[in-house]
Amino acid sequence: MSDVKMLNCPSVPNMPWQDKPSGLKGAPIWRYNENPIINRNPVENVARIFNSAVVPYEGKFVGVFRGEQRDGVSFIYFGRSDDGINWNIDEEKINFVDEDGKPFQPIYAYDPRLVKVEDTYYAIWCQDFYGAAIGIAKTTDFKTFTRIENPFIPFNRNAVLFPRKINGNYVLLSRPSDSGHTPFGDIFLSESPDMVYWGKHRHVMGRCSEWWESLKIGGGAAPIETTEGWLMFYHGVAGTCNGYVYSIGGAILDIDNPSIVKYRCKNFLLTPEEWYEERGFVNNVTFPCATVHDPDTGRIALYYGCADSYVSLAFTKVDEIVDYIKANSLTRNEDTEIGKR
């Protein structure tokens, strides 16, 4: 095993964890044996919670959750947990305020990510902006969520912020799309000095010939900084005669120029196999949105949505997963170039 380490992230000694089961086949990532951790009808008025993100906070855990209400519309809900596994989700959706302190609620909001950069936590999701687009809010106390200007014009989804500035700028991954069930999509990156003005757009990586990610790809969890580069868990989609299938992939991006892909695993890391991944409101979806990770032990807990119905956990170790991605890497010119044309 190599000696890959995580960099620039705080210790999380109480993170959720289970040891690797014996006889595991394929990628070194294993499911929590009590999945799903959030079941259907978790709170009054919410039929399903999935595709949600969590962070460690004050020795415990907090998260932003995609809650699909009984009318089928999704909004963002806040939740707390002592152990990262058992969650108390608020019955009321988050009431955002705008930058003038006035109430703000998007028409819909889904697939939130949650990332701490310096002293601020940013929630990023997909919302209507005359079509599907990226919404962002910031908070420092998880009591007031201040919605800031949308970074991009439509159509776009799957925005994921890096956990620190790179070369002095915030860096955001996103996936330009259409406003429906987009049958295409590559991951791009954009920079901003202030979270208001975005530019220096770069192509990071595209869908590719491996069948599991041949239709579209999109950012997943916030990248983890390691001695080998930024470890990125993302989703890749296959278009089958029975509909889309969402799997989880892994890639490693250059530390200083993250539009350069150093390694990209040609195999999926995790694909729908369990009942809660194969069967639900939308069958065959595993959709990563967050990790909790501990640099002292190299442990990573990956939170992923299942079948648009549940939240589950999978575990891996940074050295094992990076070794697997490197050993099974297949990159193309489109991946390894800077992505500027």
**Residues binding ligand BMA (CB under 6 A):** 51, 110-111, 181, 246, 282, 285, 287, 305, 308
Among all residues, whose Cβ is closest to ligand BMA? 282
| Nearest-angstrom CA–CA distance, 109 and 325 | 33
Burial class (CB in 10 A: 0-12, 13-18, 19+), 152: middle
For 93-112, give the DSSP string.
PP-EE-TTS-EE--S-EEEE
Token code pair at residue 277: 């991944």
Q: Which of 272, 221, 223 is nearest to 243 (CA)?
A: 272
Q: Is the peptide bond before 155 cis (omega within 30 degrees of 0)?
A: yes
Instruction: State CA 33 to chain mean position distance.
Output: 21
User: Measured from the CB atom, is 20 or 181 closer to ligand BMA?
Assistant: 181
**141 Cβ partners below 8 Å, 6+ apart?**
none
42 closest CA partner among 326, 286, 250, 311: 311
What's the CA dihedral at 27, 286, 207, 239 to 10 degrees?
A: 120
User: Strand, helix or coil at 223?
Assistant: coil
**Cα distance between residue 269 and residue 251, in whole Å:** 10
As a whole number of angstroms, the distance between CA 96 and CA 291 comes to 24
Residue 39 or residue 88: which is nearer to ligand BMA going by CB? 39
